A and B are shown apart, each in its own frame.
Chain A
Amino acid sequence: MSDHSGFIFAAFALSAVIIAIMIGAIVWDYRNVRRALSRFPDRDSPTKDQE
Chain B
Amino acid sequence: MLKFANPTNFLRLVALVLPWLTGLTLVLFAVGLYMTFFIAPADYQQGESVRIMYLHVPAAWLSLFIYGTMAMAALGTLVWRHPLADAAQKAAAPLGAGFTFICLVTGSLWGKPMWGTWWVWDARLTSVLILFLIYLGLMALWQTIEDMGRAARAAALLTLVGVINLPIIKFSVDWWNTLHQPASVFRMGGPTIHVSMLVPLLVMALAATFLFLTLHLMAIRNEILHRRLRRLSMLAAQTESETLS
Contacts and interface: CB of A to CB of B under 8 A. Distances in A.
A12 B49 contact: no
B231 A8 contact: no
Nearest to B49: A4
Prevailing SS type, chain B contact patch: helix
A37 B56 CA distance: 39
Given A23-B215, A30-B222, A49-B6, A37 B49 contact: no
A43 B106 contact: no
B45 to A, nearest CB: 12
Listed residue (A21, A25, A26, A30) with the most chain B CB atoms within 10 angstroms of its CB: A26
Query: Which of A8, A29, A33 has the most chain B CB atoms closer than 10 A to its own CB?
Result: A8
Contacts of B56: 11
Contacts of B105: 11, 14-15, 18
Interface in A1-51: 1-2, 4-5, 7-8, 10-12, 14-15, 18-19, 21-23, 25-27, 29-30, 33-34, 36-37, 40, 43, 46, 48-51
B106 A22 contact: no
Contact of A8 (B11, B48, B219, B229): B48
A19 B218 CA distance: 14
For the complex, would chain A's binding face be called helix, strand, loop or mixed by DSSP majority? Answer: helix
Contacts of B137: none
A50 B227 CA distance: 11
Interface of B: 6-8, 11, 42, 47-49, 51-52, 55-56, 59, 83, 94-95, 98, 101-102, 105-106, 109-110, 112-113, 211, 215, 218-219, 221-222, 224-229, 231-232, 236
17 contacts: A2-B48, A4-B47, A7-B49, A7-B109, A10-B109, A11-B106, A14-B105, A14-B106, A15-B102, A15-B105, A26-B219, A33-B225, A40-B236, A49-B6, A49-B7, A49-B11, A49-B228
Given A8-B52, A49-B8, 8 more contacts: A4-B49, A14-B105, A15-B55, A19-B102, A30-B221, A37-B229, A40-B232, A48-B8
Q: Which 5 A-B pairs have the closest CB atoms?
A: A49-B7, A2-B48, A49-B8, A46-B8, A11-B109
